[in-house]
A and B are shown apart, each in its own frame.
Chain A
């Protein structure tokens, strides 16, 4: 039988009196949390203000004015790898740009090679062939358990000490030269008519994407499939090649030749770049391999079974069911590996690759004595690169995320 409150004879429950007292601010869990946070924030600000003040004070004592005017001065030093026009008469700002481009070059090349290598290794690691599986396992464990700096120094040592002098360079068909001064190859010199090839490439690209889109619409409405891959390949690659031959091969090649000291002419990849690129890529690829393996294993086997039960061929099962789901697991940790490559590229300083740290954060810093300014620039640049990569990968992750209906 249900009893009402009145029937039990207990006094009715009253809401607590909301009278304010300072002591309650501390005993109340919520307000105490806020108070502690305010105190922590004040302390943090005080430390920052103290440190900033100390910097200002020390700079004043040293009589060093703070400012970025030095960036306009002539740099007076040469850089051995420049992708833009630069000489010792250029400004420190331009030297910094050369450094930025070199850092971006190593980061982009590193990310591409590490991704390709990592995906291959990750798939090999899942192989049912015991030999392939175990060899890949040993390789990955060895590579990722040795510090990346050691890899870089080892690679550089290999490049400089194991490869022959330019005079005894390893030559392939008088075209490619490999020596401890770098890998030399012919340089393309574009003739006036080359614009036809570029135009063909652009047209091919536009056509390829238009074709893909219309093929999808066609499939959605009629269920008919079109050979999308082959048509895209033909229009993006085939069309420019066709244009190249039709316009009379408008590229001349400048071949490297032996000179008194070095090889002259052609394009050269310096041993510093090669060592850094290979070492960073190999190191990061080992981590990416594990991420890829984890991603593929994470997709339940039932998924592919279900896809096959529906009659999807093995390749389509992989492309349409397994990989899209694996990517959701792979992308977030892959982002941090890309960030790692970018940040680890600063280890270039150990072998004299002229990146941001070596140009604006190294020689410019030393020649002008502006430690604080230069380090702030380097800091800001790395932060910018990392945040950009992070932003892009987050966008991509959102795009491929599971759409819940």
Chain B
């Protein structure tokens, strides 16, 4: 099943152009580390726990009163989250935030982004610093239950891979005995890595890093032989390397990493809005609704599910505290799932990811939205 995840990269030139654009705002390692330190100190000091008031009652009402959605994203992964030349956050993950903002406010810019590291993300969400997280975060049992988070769906089915310089000539992850491995701390990949090396009876040196860009810097400097994270993130990182063809992804995918947006435990109404905004984007692709034809379809079609989705039949929006046109706005302003995928990480981009298991269920993939009824 994971064979589908084997990634294709665009040409070297494309990658450079893309890297130049998307990473233009990427600061150097030192600054990133500074930022992390500050953020880490702020977020984990539990100061928000001390002084913060209620963090749960009616997130939707709070968001509407504030006029924007507070959205936690990663510190930057090419294609998945990056700043464009105007300084706005773009990418596969911020697209979810934008769709939610479009559904609530009809304005994709009504989002206040907060960058979070693997370490700070859950504290930021739990303390109310952000209303939702849309960053490569794996849905796991303990996070969903013990950490009091609510995963609302999956927007990318991923798995953990290894990136390694081709010149080392390593063909299997099981040959990595004694290697130094760069690993983002506070992630599921860190735990998978420990499990993988232990069960295979081989040793390694963990080089803990905070952010993707820090990992890339350490990998390029040769502090570690291997960089491991979700295969999609590796493909993205590889595209931003000086010579992507000199680096290879290993065939092994050692874990399941269903990545998706999440909210705090305990506000189901707010969770519903995120969940069904994501489902609306997935369903729109399944039903052939795109940002180009959504206006025409919104006037009424033969298909009653499209009509319910876009609000020309029934009033699903009222059931989640929004108006009839919520999904129409999200699709119109951000696009359906397939459009977003192709725009940021698809085959035409330097990231060059195949749809693979992230195709619609009708195409043999795993994307399967519950019906709009």
Find out whether the CB atom of A149 lies under 8 angstroms from the CB atom of B37: yes
Among all A-B residue pairs, the 4 with the closest Cβ atoms: A366-B186, A88-B194, A369-B147, A261-B179
Residue of A nearest to B204 (CB): A78
Q: Taking chain B's interface residues, is the majority helix, strand, or loop, or is none over half, making it mixed?
A: mixed
Q: Is B190 an interface residue (CB 8 A)?
A: yes
B residues less than 8 Å from A260 (CB atoms) = 168, 175, 177-179
Find out whether the CB atom of A54 lies under 8 angstroms from the CB atom of B51: yes
Chain B residues at the A interface, C-beta cutoff of 8 Å: 29-30, 33-34, 36-37, 40, 44-46, 49-52, 54-56, 118-119, 122-123, 126, 143, 146-148, 168, 175-180, 185-186, 190-191, 193-195, 197-198, 204-210, 218, 221-223, 225, 264-266
Q: Is A87 an interface residue (CB 8 A)?
A: yes
Number of A-B residue pairs with CB-CB distance less than 8 Å in the complex they form = 138
Distance of A153 Cα from B147 Cα, bound (Å): 33
B residues less than 8 Å from A37 (CB atoms) = none
Chain B nearest CB, measured from A65 CB (Å)? 10
B residues less than 8 Å from A252 (CB atoms) = none
Q: Is A122 an interface residue (CB 8 A)?
A: no
Chain B nearest CB, measured from A71 CB (Å)? 14
Distance of A55 Cα from B45 Cα, bound (Å): 13
Chain B nearest CB, measured from A57 CB (Å)? 8
Find out whether the CB atom of A261 lies under 8 angstroms from the CB atom of B51: no
Find out whether the CB atom of B44 lies under 8 angstroms from the CB atom of A62: no
Find out whether the CB atom of B223 lies under 8 angstroms from the CB atom of A181: yes
Chain A nearest CB, measured from B117 CB (Å)? 9
0/1 interface trace, chain A 348-390, chain B, CB 8 Å (1 if under):
0111101000100111011111011001000000000000000
Find out whether the CB atom of A64 lies under 8 angstroms from the CB atom of B122: no
Chain A nearest CB, measured from B128 CB (Å)? 9
List 23 A-B residue pairs with CB atoms under 8 Å apart, sorted by A's residue number: A58-B49, A61-B54, A62-B56, A78-B194, A78-B206, A88-B191, A88-B194, A88-B195, A149-B37, A153-B30, A157-B29, A160-B218, A180-B221, A181-B205, A261-B168, A261-B180, A349-B40, A352-B185, A365-B44, A366-B186, A367-B191, A371-B46, A375-B46
From A80, A88, A165, A371, give the contact of B207 (CB < 8 A): A80
Residue of B nearest to A167 (CB): B222
Chain B nearest CB, measured from A369 CB (Å)? 4
0/1 interface trace, chain A 160-171, chain B, CB 8 Å (1 if under):
110001000000
B residues less than 8 Å from A271 (CB atoms) = 223
Find out whether the CB atom of B223 lies under 8 angstroms from the CB atom of A362: no
B residues less than 8 Å from A366 (CB atoms) = 118-119, 122, 185-186
